[in-house]
Amino acid sequence: MKKVFSIVSVVLVVALGLFLYFKFWFVYSSGVNEGDINYFQREGFIFKTWEGKMIQTGYNSKNTTSTIQSNEFKFSVEDKRIAEQLNNSSGRQIKLQWKRYLGTLPWRGNSQFVVDSIIKVGGTQSVASDPFDKEMPPAVE
């Protein structure tokens, strides 16, 4: 009976560990979003986290007439250096690289999307170079 209990206990502990890993630490997806920061603030009662919302404009393809629509991208930031850069970049077009987790942790933020780097701010390269974002040479007259 003790052997069965210990085997079941080990299996349960391993299963719980795998569940916690995939729920809170496994990076489900990653990507890049570009837009204007709508708001960016530090909030929380016990765990102070940086939370923001980005507005992305685009065209609505569901209608036959092209109409402009906006999408919201809610995100959190863990790194204080990135949070300071975002605070200094308000009102400018910004391109963010993020990681998506399946669950949220109180000290990581309220969003599943956690920004891990800033690629571009307002047309100038700031952190990483983007090979697809080259400026066109001036027109020759």
pLDDT score recorded for residue 124? 47
Please provide the average confidence, as pLDDT, over all residues in the chain.
82
CATH for the stretch 28-125:
2.40.50.140
48 burial type by CB count under 10 A (0-12 exposed, 13-18 middle, 19+ buried)? exposed
Alpha carbons 56 and 127: distance in angstroms, whole number: 21
Alpha carbons 87 and 12: distance in angstroms, whole number: 44
pTM exceeding the 0.75 threshold for the entire prediction: no
Alpha carbons 82 and 134: distance in angstroms, whole number: 24
Alpha carbon 126 to its chain's center: 17
- Where in the chain are the domains? 28-125
Residue 78, SS3 per DSSP: coil
Is 75 within 8 Å of 113 (Cβ atoms)? yes
Higher pLDDT, 59 or 20: 20
pLDDT score recorded for residue 140? 53
pLDDT score recorded for residue 135? 53
Give mean pLDDT, residues 17-39. 91
Give mean pLDDT, residues 27-54. 91
